[in-house]
Structure 1
Amino acid sequence: MATQSTGMQQTTARGMGAVSGWTIFAAIMMMFGGVLAIFEGIAAIAEDDVFVSTRNFTFQWSLTSWGWLHLSLGIVVVLAGIALFSGAMWARVVGIAVAGLNLVANFAWLPWYPFWAITLMVIDGFVIWALCVGPRREPRAV
């Protein structure tokens, strides 16, 4: 099977397996954001003194519950980021879904650590945007 390579984009003769620069960006950012979420989860499970609990917030989970949620989501985000290197469409869809879940979880996490939550929300927003842009389509030579 013939393979053409132009810059950061690699396509096969059938057009399958395209990995564009935005997909690589999204994969790296997902792995980075997932590792940060894992650290966030570990810190919350250990009930570190870094976090401050607020009263009368809508989401009344314990700090340990939030920690397990962020730890498990972080692992899934890292695995989805690794899967993006395959260039498969299912990996893009899973990446968008997992980044969206992580964005919502970090929005709910705002009262405990606002700077960290906003940073991860921005990363997830860029990941969703980069995965929705998709690989650039090259015109086929006849």
Structure 2
Amino acid sequence: MTTTPGSPPPSTPAGARSPNAWATGGTTFAGVLMAVIGVFGIIEGIAAIAKDDVYVPIGDYTFKFDLTAWGWIHLIFGIIIVAVGVGILKGAGWSRIAGIVLAALSVLLHFLWLPYQPLWALIAIALGVFVIWALCNDKPAARV
């Protein structure tokens, strides 16, 4: 099929997806997830700072910190993650790399947080891995 100069390029058939459609949609979803995970981190942090008895004290744990210290870590990290999530949604160039780094740090943080909240930590680890995948697979030049 040929096109005449000045005519729009041929469109893809209805229902057909570009090879990068999953990653592009995943990047938008990753931005939303980062914002939501950041808000949850802020709530976790506030809960740990305000009341130390919200979380069950654990026994002898290698990475055991005071719950107030964990609260401040989650609060500060949550604020940063929300900012990067908003940057991803706005399409800022710096936000993809920052998102990958913060998602990797979030996975590590939630692994260390595992004894305090096992179910949420496992869910947050899985979401962090998805965010890393989506941000690594989307090519900004391929976006339309």
- Whether TM exceeds 0.5 here: the answer is yes
- Map residues 64-83 of structure 1 onto 2, 5 A cutoff: 64-83=68-87
Gaps (5+ residues) in structure 2?
Answer: 1-8, 13-22
Aligned residues: 122
Question: 1:73-105: per-residue Cα shift (whole Å, max 9, x none)?
Answer: 000000000011232332100000011111111
Q: What's the TM-score, normalizing by structure 1?
A: 0.77
> In 2, distance between residues paired with 1:38 and 1:132?
26
Give the percent of matched residue pairs that are identical in Structure 1 and Structure 2: 45
Q: What's the TM-score, normalizing by structure 2?
A: 0.76
Question: Counting helix residues as a fraction of each chain, which structure ranks higher?
Answer: 2
Displacement of 1:123 in angstroms is 1.4
Q: 1:31 aligns with which of 35, 49, 67?
A: 35
SS at match of 1:57: coil
Partner in structure 2 of residue 11 of structure 1: none
Q: Is residue 104–residue 128 contact of structure 2 (8 Å, CA) maintained in 1? A: yes
Moved over 6 A (4+): none
Q: Is residue 38–residue 75 contact of structure 1 (8 Å, CA) maintained in 2? A: yes
Displacement of 1:113 in angstroms is 1.1
Gaps (5+ residues) in structure 1?
Answer: 7-18
Partner in structure 1 of residue 135 of structure 2: 131
Code of the residue aligned with 2:61 in structure 1: it is F
Code of the residue aligned with 1:54 in structure 2: it is I
Q: Is residue 33–residue 124 contact of structure 1 (8 Å, CA) maintained in 2? A: no
Q: 2:102 aligns with which of 95, 98, 101?
A: 98
Question: 1:99-119: per-residue Cα shift (whole Å, max 9, x none)?
Answer: 111111111001111112112
Displacement of 1:126 in angstroms is 1.0
